[in-house]
Amino acid sequence: MYNFTISRLGEYAMLIQVAEKPSQDLLQWLVCKKEQLQSLPAVEVVFTYNEILVKFLLPLEGRYDTIRASVEEILESSIESIGVNGVLHKVPVCYNSQVAPDLEEYASQVNLRVDQVVALHTSPVYPVYFIGFLPGFPYLDGLDSKLHLERKATPSQFIQPGSVAIGGAQTGIYPQRSPGGWHVIGSTPVQLFDINKNPQSLFKAGDSIKFYAITLEDFKVYER
């Protein structure tokens, strides 16, 4: 069990903070606790690397202590009987400057050749910690430290859907066209979010992603 604190956040929410650095074990705990907390009369349960936000339909006034006790009981319960049914997604990425406008400049800034960037970026299996920022945007862990680079000083006005990018110690994929400050090093033809599908997001917390390189020609075939 992890050490945690619970605080009231306005009239309708509680914030749970876990005193641990992100890890695979903590991710499993967060996924399981989210499932258990949804048994409460909660509107929504969302989590980040080490926090859980529980939103309620009715105000907490007059029942905060009772609900807090229920939350504590859930957080202190075992997760042994609950598995995390994560899916491994193999995601094709085109690492070519025609679809990755920052690739060559990024490689220069991290003192690597483009082929070295590709090799390091496609090597890990990245756990999906949570979905946020944009609908379907996966926050991933496990980026090689040689690839870490601070966000751009001046964000790009438009980043195209499918752009695979790096910002700081993180890598991710932009599901929709958006402004952004991450360095775009590749592009995937895979659609990450579809409002007409169920589930709408291709990824979920507890899944994992393995990138593999494809040529520009293959990328264009995928797009058709």
**145 Cβ partners below 8 Å, 6+ apart?**
169
Distance CA 53, CA 7 (A): 10
% of residues, the chain, pLDDT over 90? 78
Q: Are 92 and 189 in contact (CB under 8 A)?
A: yes
Distance CA 93, CA 186 (A): 6
CA distances from 186 to 37, 101, 182, 213 (A): 37, 8, 12, 9
The domains found in the chain, sorted by start residue, are 4-76 (3.30.1360.40), 88-223 (2.40.100.10)
pLDDT at 41: 84
pLDDT at 50: 92
In three-state secondary structure terms, 75 is: helix
pLDDT at 24: 85
β pairing state of 163-167 and 183-187: antiparallel
Q: What is the pTM of this model?
A: 0.84
